[in-house]
Amino acid sequence: MKRLPFIILTIILVFTIITGAALAQDTIIESTIQDDLFITGNSVIINAPVIGDVFVGGGTVQINANITGDVFAVGGIIEINAPITGDLISAGAQIIIKQNVTGKIIAVGGLIELQEDTTKVLIAAGSVTLFSTTNIEQNAYLFGGTVNNQATIEDTLIVRAATFQNSGTAQIVDYQTSQVTQIGETLKGIFRILQIVIVAGYMILGLLILKFMPNQFLAIEEELNKSKIKNTAVGFLLLILTTIVSIILAVTVIGLPISILLTLTYLIALIISPLIVSLTLGRTIVNLLKRKTSNTILFIIGFIALHLLYLIPFIGFIFVIGALSLGLGAIFYTTKKNLNKIISLNN
């Protein structure tokens, strides 16, 4: 996942939720990592350089050594005490950035402080402070209850806040506030960020499944490619019939437990379906370009392409239904094909 210019990952909330069981322990990295790092813990301290992207979640997160890659961090207290050669995308109750970030910063939190240089900033928080030691090469977008800017911003500063103090400099300052309008604008900005958060978390979920369950992921993709039309048709029927059956079972009361189990299984399949389609779409795009790359990059390319298709006015919903149906059909046939193996494991 190196330096994708169109990367839209933001905050790794889903990563933390999925790996929440690991949060009971403290984790310290003391030796250099030359690969992407996935790590969680009650307290996570990175004391050695990482040459790759970092995905970290914990009650307390400290980065005390250089990161050559992007950082995706979520936690209660997050401290960046060493330079990041890449983007920083983070969510936390308190986020303190004490060193340079060469890429952009996207952060959501309760209290956020930026003390050093970066390229571009998008921050939404209850309290936002940009120190006088900070230089931002491009734009800064700040949403919050209280915003205090002391930084030098070489382009435009856009602020939506109830309280704004500005002792810094910017080429253009766009500040708006009012009793009603400002609240609406702030909520709208936060809502947009939350939309990105959900998409980002969804991408992280796909990457985690691909990393830790590659055989199952690729098996479903293989089944998907055998007959896309058949899989889409069957998946669309399952999309409708499963909903109807679940409702009927729930209405009977006696069938309610089965309905709940069926619905949960159905929802899991619906969540996974577009992720499988993303990998296939990414592989198709890269094959058309006659290039070769890893399954991780294929997935990211396909995921972004698929979600761009979702955004097309009037017809985006067709791609949503299509992706759900195609993936659901592939999951159905893969499960059917391996049903005997699953049964034999339980005997």
pLDDT tens, position by position, 91-134: 888 999 999 999 999 988 889 999 999 999 999 888 999 999 99
55: confidence class by pLDDT, cuts 50, 70, 90:
confident
**Residue at 5: amino acid letter:** P
Token duo for residue 165: 């103090």
pLDDT tens, position by position, 143-198: 888 899 999 999 999 998 888 999 999 999 999 874 444 555 556 666 666 677 77
pLDDT value at position 338? Answer: 78
Q: List the single range of 33-37, 115-119, 312-316 with lowest mean pLDDT.
A: 312-316
Q: Which long-range contacts (CB under 8 A, 24 or more apart) does 305-309 make?
A: 305/278, 305/281, 306/274, 306/277, 306/278, 306/281, 307/8, 307/199
Angle at 80 between CA 111 and CA 193, to 5 degrees: 50
340: confidence class by pLDDT, cuts 50, 70, 90:
low
pLDDT value at position 20? Answer: 43
**Res. 3: pLDDT tops 50:** no
* % of the chain exceeding 90 in pLDDT: 42
> In whole angstroms, what is the distance from residue 116 CA to residue 151 CA?
9
**Res. 325: pLDDT tops 70:** yes
> In whole angstroms, what is the distance from residue 84 CA to residue 67 CA?
5
